[in-house]
Structure 1
Amino acid sequence: MRFDSIEVEKIMPKHKAKYVTILREPGRLFESIFDYYYEQVPFFQKVPTTTRGDINEWLDMAPTLYAKRANKNKLWFIGKNMEFFDFGFNPLNETDEYIGAAIKKIESQFDLVLISDYFLESAVLFKDLMNWEWKDMRTLKLNSRIKVNDGPVPEQLRKKIRKWNKADAALFDHFNATFWRKIQDYNLEKMRVDTVALKRLNEEFEKECVTANATLDDDNLLYNPGQHLTLKGYSLNKDSKKHWECSRATMGTLQYSKKLRDEYNEKWRQIEDGNEFET
């Protein structure tokens, strides 16, 4: 969803809800975006592959490509400040004033900005914000790419990516700093202990839910544009197929979204019919 505070607040008023979002380090994010959406974005196909060498070459021609986007594909925005776009801002406006105002607005709208590069720490801060139980925080890493470029993005390429995605880089730098200040406030030693506990909890959850080397069923199939990627998915073991936590933790994003829509549509139907229902 592209964030629109006015529309979201109609459904989830700010005084009744917690607003949480997540950012990723721009270097790895752009490399992932380029690889994942390569088949869908014609601009990306100006180079023959999604290797780091070709990404580097594409970045050299990117300013010219975007300056001539009269024939722009509807997905043109994927290649330029995509996180900034997702927050509802213009990804082509990279003036310091505009980016600074956007950061201030995001700060005023969101209670917590997580960092996906530090997912366990983010989950702990989220648990603390929501006052949830540890059992509520169990997750499985889903939809990540397998057999991608090993190691960190080379520094020269990272700098080029950050220069091209100036707004995304500014967002990350600002909210990464605030993220670590929140961890300091939480207590570093307590965070260390809690992340170890959460990692162990997730490992136990995987053993409870998942069977190895099985074919994914329809619920667990993952969205794979172009079908050129190998994505991490799971198949449930026999004992856990009826366990709703295991089922939802391994469900593909499109199937999960449909399930949520169907459930809420049914609840609204019951409201309109004047029937009571369980929340």
Structure 2
Amino acid sequence: MDSSSLPLSSSKPKHTNVAFLKTHKTASSTMQNLLFRFAERNNLTVALPVQTCGHQFCYPRPFNSQLVHPHTLPPNVIANHMRFNHAETHRLMPNDTVYVTILREPGSMFESLFIYCYPSCQTFRRVPNSSLEAFLDNPWRYYQPNEKDSMYARNTLTFDLGGDKDHPEDGLAEYSRAFVAETERVFSLVMIAEYFDESLVLLRHLLSWELEDMLYVKLNMRTSGSKRRLSPGLSAKIRNWNALDARLYDHFNDTLWQRLDALGLNNVADEVRMLRRAQERLVRGCFGGQLPRHLKGTEIANKDLRPWQPSSKVDIVGYDLPTNANISRPEGLTHDLCLKLIMPEVQYTKVLLQSQSLRYLAQHPPTLTTAAKNAALKKVPPRH
């Protein structure tokens, strides 16, 4: 098919009100970065957490609108980690908000959670020799449903979506069907991490965005040496332990491919190829004509680009921009754009809060309180 026949730009206005539920270990940091950059380019407001919550909306508490920093209201976009609460999110966001989230195959996701969260999750720390096999042989020996950080150890996707990660076996199938149906009702698109680019094609059509709005680099990845391949038996045990997540994933993976098929698989494949070509041009433009190296945190000179490291046993890789001042970039490709393209979540949230606070204060100059006015008057010398 001639690529010129693909609708890579839309006559419709871009849809700018988006709620992205950022789930754990699902390529959601990459998606969040894409949304942050879109918001900045289009002068949109991103709802960000109050500073006492850090870079998440006080996760794992259920989300409520009081956790949103007042300088980031009213928002067009929300994309930081939360435990989903549809009623509260609906109250916060505009009525035409499009809800999107992302899931990942439960086996690979749980392996990633086990390694990533081992230092902080009490359930995992009880397991001798950091053995995933030992945990899966007898999960209830280590798992306590109500203790801190237990949501990382079972049905994390279900928990993030606001569901009951420990629903009893009695009635589990019925609960799962109802939960899947509710998720489908609320979310206009459930992306699948293993088919990230194909998911972006659906998202682009859903939001009437342009190809350039969908460009990204992969963020918050582990080094290949800290990953492990799962045997079929181990993967089956993970899916059994995370049965609710497995049912969610299987349903929405099927749904994704039904929607891709409706769009035309050849059309989708062509658009994915164009997305990847455009992406390579962008990345090479930022990195002096080269593709970037994955760097360990200690190898990144710019501290603003160092990803958070969960422990000394896990290396989360990031990127550093070339320091050569003479580097030439294509027209319109600024240093700031390249910096934001590779900026990790924690730092980008902080930068975005600072810029939005400055804009908010410029639009809403603070008024003096009565006490401040009286204090100021006392400093004025009396007239004679």
- Normalising by the residue count of structure 1, what TM-score does the alignment of the two structures yield? 0.88
Query: Structure 1 151/60 Cα, relative in aligned 2: closer, same or farther at 3 Å?
Result: closer
Q: What letter matches 1:266 in structure 2?
A: L
CA distance in 2, matches of 1:168, 1:96: 12
Alignment of 1:239-254 (within 5 A): 239=327, 242-254=334-346
Query: Structure 1 121/216 Cα, relative in aligned 2: closer, same or farther at 3 Å?
Result: farther
The residue number in structure 2 matching 1:227 is 312
Whether 1:11 and 2:92 are equivalent positions in the alignment is yes
SS at match of 2:119: coil
Alignment of 1:128-167 (within 5 A): 128-148=205-225, 152-167=229-244
Q: What letter matches 2:199 in structure 1?
A: S
The residue number in structure 2 matching 1:75 is 149
The residue number in structure 2 matching 1:277 is none
Query: Structure 1 192/62 Cα, relative in aligned 2: closer, same or farther at 3 Å?
Result: same
The residue number in structure 1 matching 2:376 is none
- Structure 1: gaps spanning 5 or more residues: 275-279
Query: Structure 1 242/198 Cα, relative in aligned 2: closer, same or farther at 3 Å?
Result: closer
Which structure shows the higher helix fraction? 1
Query: Structure 1 30/151 Cα, relative in aligned 2: closer, same or farther at 3 Å?
Result: closer
The offset of 1:138, in angstroms, is: 1.1
SS at match of 2:142: helix
- Structure 2: gaps spanning 5 or more residues: 1-81, 367-384
SS at match of 1:236: coil
The correspondence for 2:275, drawn from 182, 198, 215, is: 198
Farther-moved stretch of structure 1 (195-204 vs 111-120): 195-204
Whether 1:36 and 2:128 are equivalent positions in the alignment is no
Q: What letter matches 2:152 in structure 1?
A: I
Contact 2:128 2:134 in 1 (8 A): no
CA distance in 2, matches of 1:46, 1:148: 24
SS at match of 1:176: helix
Farther-moved stretch of structure 1 (129-138 vs 156-165): 129-138
Indicate the structure whose relative CO is greater, using CA pairs within 8 Å and at least 6 residues apart. Answer: 1
The offset of 1:116, in angstroms, is: 0.6
The offset of 1:163, in angstroms, is: 0.3
Deviation track 1:69-126 (CA, whole Å, cap 9, x = no partner) reads 57x2x11111010010000111101511222111111111111000011111111111
CA distance in 2, matches of 1:82, 1:33: 9
CA distance in 2, matches of 1:216, 1:4: 39
Deviation track 1:20-45 (CA, whole Å, cap 9, x = no partner) reads 11000000000001111111112112
Deviation track 1:119-142 (CA, whole Å, cap 9, x = no partner) reads 111111111111111111110011
Alignment of 1:54-133 (within 5 A): 54-66=131-143, 68=144, 72=147, 74-93=148-167, 95-133=172-210
CA distance in 1, matches of 2:256, 2:357: 36
SS at match of 1:228: coil
Deviation track 1:232-258 (CA, whole Å, cap 9, x = no partner) reads 211112447953321111101101111
The correspondence for 1:178, drawn from 242, 255, 261, is: 255
The offset of 1:151, in angstroms, is: 7.1
Whether 1:169 and 2:246 are equivalent positions in the alignment is yes
Contact 1:113 1:179 in 2 (8 A): yes
Q: What letter matches 1:161 in structure 2?
A: I
Q: Which has the larger radius of gyration?
A: 2
CA distance in 1, matches of 2:139, 2:285: 47
Q: How many residues align?
A: 267
- Normalising by the residue count of structure 2, what TM-score does the alignment of the two structures yield? 0.65
Aligned residues with identical type, % of pairs: 33
The offset of 1:48, in angstroms, is: 4.2
The offset of 1:152, in angstroms, is: 4.7
Q: What letter matches 1:12 in structure 2?
A: M
Q: What letter matches 1:187 in structure 2?
A: G
CA distance in 2, matches of 1:137, 1:107: 23
CA distance in 1, matches of 2:91, 2:335: 33
Measured on the aligned residues, the alpha-carbon RMSD in Å equals: 2.2
CA distance in 2, matches of 1:170, 1:19: 20
Whether 1:26 and 2:106 are equivalent positions in the alignment is yes
